[in-house]
Every structure is written in structure tokens, then in C-alpha cells.
Structure 1
Amino acid sequence: MKALYIASTGMSAQERNVEVISNNIANMRTTGFKRQRAEFEDLLYQQITRAGSPSSEQGTQLPSGLEIGSGVRTVSTPRIMSQGSINGTEREMDVAIRGEGFFMVNLPDGRTAYTRDGSFERSPEGTIVTSAGYEVDPGITIPGNATSVAIAPDGTVSAYLDNESIPTQLGQLQLARFVNKSGLESLGDNLFIETASSGPAQVSMPNAEGTGNLLQNYLEMANVNSVTEIADLIAAQRAYEMNARVISGADEMMQSTSQLR
């Protein structure tokens, strides 16, 4: 009976849906995290009678056909790249992006990754790095005698050295933006890399070409809404239960058929 297999695809799809929702909830406090959404599509159909087929010798046609679907599958889990809330941290190395840009990060294998997580640190050499220790591109080194660091909205990084009253400019952070942000590939560690779907990175200074500006002493929180996720979780659970009931119903029908004499 096909109903067993059709319902099983529904259960599998909703299981994947719950996995996506659970990952969103688990990352509610992850800096710069962007929530995902499971999207589905129906599978192939068995055409028993096609619409428009002749229905009589007089030339009449069927207004609608007879087709049976074979279930559903999860086709993609795009990221929702909307702006998360921006919270103050009172920490000078924390930087939030207000706009569509991404910080650029140099990976050990030579690739460039991209992140919305601006919780930066200083390496033992004074270089600005991510919380995982990856160098922020372009590499900017803060001298050991710097008493404070200032990061302007346009990305200019300055430091007050010793007791000097005039800051010394150290460099300028750049931001990258993409035509299709949802096409970025997740690496973990709050990092993304570009793909053929995302298009190449368009690098520019903050406040230019729609990349957004920077806010020092702030961090962007995850764009996960707990109420929405719980509502989606309940809906996914109910859909899973209904597919399970279809399997139970199909089993009972098969059992009744097998008991006929």
C-alpha cells in the first residue's frame, strides 16, 4: 500500500524540520547567528489519467486528471539573513555591523571566511583575531603599549599609545557583501564561505555600497525568535503525528484485508 511509503516521507521531512528548529533554538545566544528554515517540495506523481484525455467517443475531454503523489522531501534549509538585535557590551573589542556586510577572516588554509560575529580578541602578537583565533582581514596589529582602542563607524581602527592625547591610526576594517547571502556555506565557528550560489564577495569600506556601519562596544545577537520557533516546533510535531496516524490507518486497512475470507 503506497500510503505507508507516502506517510513515511512526511515523517522523515518533519524529522528534518525538527532538527533545523532545534538548531535554531540551541543557538539563540550565539553571536551573529542566522536562523534557518526547512523548505519542502512534493515528489513525482503517478499519472493514472491525464487531464484533457478523451472521455467519450463524442470527443469530450476529462476536465481534471487522476494522479497520485508519492510524498514529500526536504529540498533546502536557507538561512534568514535579517538583522539581529544589537546589544551593548561595554567592551572595546566588541563590534557590531548595522547593515548587510560581513567581517572578513583569514583561515589557516588560505581561504577567506566571512562572519557577523564581532567579538574580537587580541592575539599574543597584538593582531585582531576572532574568538576562535582566526586573523581578521586586513590584519591590524595593536601595539602592546596601547591604553585604549577606538573603532569608528567607517572601520578606522585607532589606539591611544601610552599617555598620548592624539590617537594613532592603525588600519581600517573592511566589509564584504553578497548578492545572495543565503547562498553562503556554513563552516561552524560562526563562519561562512562564498559559493557559486552566493556570488563573489563585494569588498568595500563600511558606510559604502550598502555594507552598513560599525558600532564599537556592541554585538549583534542571533535573529532567532523563541516564540516563532516554539510555534514551528509544535506544528512540526503535529504534522509528524498525523503522518504516523496515516501509517497506523494503512496498517489497519491491510490487516482487515488480510483477514477477509
Structure 2
Amino acid sequence: MVLEFDGVKKEYKSSDFKLDGINFDLSEGEVLGLIGQNGSGKSTILKMANQLVKQDGGSIKYLGQPLESMSDEDLRQARKKIVYIFQSANLLENKTVLYHLKLVYKLNKTKVDEDEIDEILDFMQISRLKKSYVRHLSGGQKQKLAIAMALLQKPKVLLCDEISSALDASAEREIFDLLAKIVEERKISIMIISHNLDVLKNFSDRILLLDKGQIQKEIIPTKSANKQEDNYFNHVVEYFYD
């Protein structure tokens, strides 16, 4: 397993929020969707997956090693492999696409690889934007750049937190098509939160439904046009989600 959550707990004393006994795992090349009402803990689970937020109990293992017991340096290296992509791309508006990609190497204190940058730009279908400033990019192009920066880290896991929520339908399809390509060709695992349930159902291998601080249901969606299975999925989602 790439990631394992074992009895993970999280509580904020300033609110009623609580996660209690979260158990699941993530395999290589698997796409795991998370859905639930606002405040159900979806983003907290993603942030605990690379220790942006520390759990209060239980264990989170990356390749069999507990993240919570790693040294600062080992955790820093693990975070390069478990990359969080935010809803907002968090880019510098007055810098170019190329600047951002070179920045990954500088932060990692490694030599810039121009060939690798060109390969990533081509893979993400934004080669023509190499010298463009971020302020001139569309929302979808910004998210492609954020994903490209993540891929330069050679991750094992991408944590995607509503990364398509601000995009139109066409741009959202492009992002999910590229994510599917990443999984297929690079065997990267993905944990993803999205409010677009139709897209999430067609993209995910499994979906976890969160409610009342726990995983209430695990669904394995089908890619078929089976109306009965579709109705079952919608019924379960509506019960927990709405």
C-alpha cells in the first residue's frame, strides 16, 4: 500500500468537528474519491495524508512507514512524494510558467533540467505557454501548471482538493482527462475531493462517504450505463451528502 490510515482521529476543541477511527488504504495507481457535507473532514483527511495537519490519534503510513514518527528531514522528503494540490493554484501572478517550473528545482536544491521541463509542459499540453505570465492564464491553465509543478517532484500520491471547482465544464473535463492519463501512464495514486459527483463517479476506483466523523460507506462505482447501479449510487450519495 502507498498510504494507510489506521484508526486516525482528529478533533478541534474550538468547534464540534471530529474525526474518529478513520481507516482506509490507497494502492499504487488507485483513484480514491472523498465526498461528504461541508465540514465532514474531507480536506482534513487530505492534509493529514502529508502531515500539513497532524492527527490526534492513530497512524498514517507511507510505504509502510508511519509519517508521525518520521524525522523532520524524512517527513520533508515524504512530502515531496505526497503532493497537495490546492483549490487555488497559489501561483505568482507576475512570474512566468517557466519560472514556476524552475522554482521546483531551486526549492529542491537540484540542477534545472530543461528537457524534463519541456516533457512535462508537453504532457500537460501547455508547451505554448512556457514564457507566458501567470496573470494571462485561464483558471484551467493555472491548474495545469500547478499539476505540472507537482509532477516534477516525481510523486507517488497527488492530493487534489477541489482543484476543478472554479472551472467551467470544458476546462474541468480537460483536468480530469489529464489526471486519468497521469494515473494510467505514471501509476501515480490520487486522493481527490470534488463536488462534481458525475465526474468523480466516472474517475474514481472507490469513493468514501464521510458523515458524523466517520466513513459511513465505501462505494465502488461502475463505468457502465447500468441505470439500476446509477440509481443506487445516486440514492446513497443523496442520503449522506445532501
- TM-score bucket of the superposed structures, by smaller chain: under 0.3
- Please report the TM-score for the alignment, with normalisation by the length of structure 1: 0.20
Greater strand percent: which structure?
1
- Please report the TM-score for the alignment, with normalisation by the length of structure 2: 0.21
Greater helix percent: which structure?
2
Which protein is bigger by CA-based radius of gyration? 1
